[in-house]
Amino acid sequence: MARAHAREFESFADFYPYYLSEHRDRTCRRLHFVGSTVALICLLMMVVTGSAWWLPGAVVSGYAFAWVGHFVFEKNRPATFRHPVYSLMGDWVMYGDILRGRISF
């Protein structure tokens, strides 16, 4: 039987439960949330200031916080490496689920 992380997914709906299973650790989820929030602030600053220099800050903050969560706390490899598009989608769906209280923070 193929291991879950090596699976190919037919849709995001199939992927998201796997994504959540890779984010069981509360500190990992919190780091994702903080990194995503900082990324949003950087994007907002880019719009407000008109400076594209904020874009690398958005990318670095989003990934840096998440990867620390995975490598240090979750002890797994981020889904970004195998499923970059679904993983990015999962980041924002999980962010929304945390904001709505559907996932514990």
Q: What is the pLDDT of residues 53-92, one digit of tens each?
A: 999 999 999 999 999 999 999 999 999 999 999 999 999 9
d(CA 68, CA 101): 23
DSSP per-residue string spanning the chain: ---GGG---SSHHHHHHHHHHTT-SHHHHHHHHHHHHHHHHHHHHHHHH--TTHHHHHHHHHHHHHHHIIIIII-S--GGGT-HHHHHHHHHHHHHHHHTTSS--
Confidence of residue 5 (pLDDT cuts 50, 70, 90): very low
d(CA 4, CA 89): 18
Greatest C-alpha distance within the chain: 52
Rounded (10°) angle between helices 12-21 and 84-99: 70
Question: Is 40's pLDDT higher than 60?
Answer: yes
